[in-house]
Amino acid sequence: MKTFEENWTAWLDGQLSGRELSEFEQSLPDKAAAEAEKANARKLGALLKSELGAPSLTNEEFFSHQLRERIMRESSGPSVEHEAKASTWWTIQRLLWTGTASLAVFLIFTVFVIRDKNPAEESQYLTQILNARVDPVVSPNATVSMFEVKQDRVTVLWTEGLQSLPADYAAK
């Protein structure tokens, strides 16, 4: 079943016929006012069609119109939109994605580098001093101090005033 608005529109357009037309006209409270409104709507429709209709272009005219529009756009120089896009190449969103991607790459490389090194094994640069003494004849002002930290497994040998290594220096 159609609503009143649908029947009204169909009646204005002349699409109601037969039983629907007679039922709708009987439901109108003032048929003379409705007929006047129908005539006014038809006049308005005709006026709009005649005044607001777009001129039809042939294929050649449409093609010429497109060319003229393109020439006018290109001859006027760069548009404001193009300049705005060029000046805002690094937008906030692009900066955010670039920073996130950079951090992700950094974390991936860090994980691979840390995973490859076993912190429990000794460094290849670790040496142990077996014998160290200072000859007072060769270096009279030389001093040797040893510092050892058990928890970090570090021993530091500090020498001051040593001019040359002793002959019995040995490292393993």
Is residue 47 a part of any domain in this protein?
yes
Residue 46: give the domain boundaries. 4-52
DSSP state of 167: T
- What is the C-alpha to C-alpha distance for residues 37 and 29, in angstroms, rounded to an integer? 13
pLDDT for 100 equals 96
Q: Is residue 67 part of a domain?
A: no
pLDDT of 106 reads: 95
pLDDT for 51 = 80
Domain count, the chain: 3
Residue 156, domain member (yes or no) = yes
Kindly state whether residues 144 and 166 are assigned to the same domain.
Answer: yes
Looking at the fold, whether 133 and 167 belong to one and the same domain comes out as yes
Tokens at residue 107, please? 């974390």
In a domain, 159, yes or no: yes
Residues of the chain with pLDDT under 50: 130, 172
In a domain, 44, yes or no: yes
Q: Nearest to residue 20, comparing CAs of 5, 35, 1, 34? A: 1
- Strand (E) positions, 16-119? none
Q: What is the pLDDT of residue 172?
A: 43
Residue 163 lies in a domain: yes
CA distances from 165 to 134, 138, 140, 168 (A): 9, 10, 13, 8
Lookup result for tokens 């777009």: 54
Residue 82 lies in a domain: no
pLDDT in tens, 29-51: 888 888 898 899 889 888 888 88
Let me know if residue 81 belongs to a domain.
no
What is the distance between the alpha carbons of residues 12 and 37, in angstroms, rounded to a whole number? 9
Q: Are residues 48 and 8 in the same domain?
A: yes
Are 112 and 133 in the same domain? no
Shared-domain flag, residues 134 and 154: yes
Are residues 44 and 9 both part of a single domain? yes
Cβ–Cβ < 8 Å for 132, 169: yes
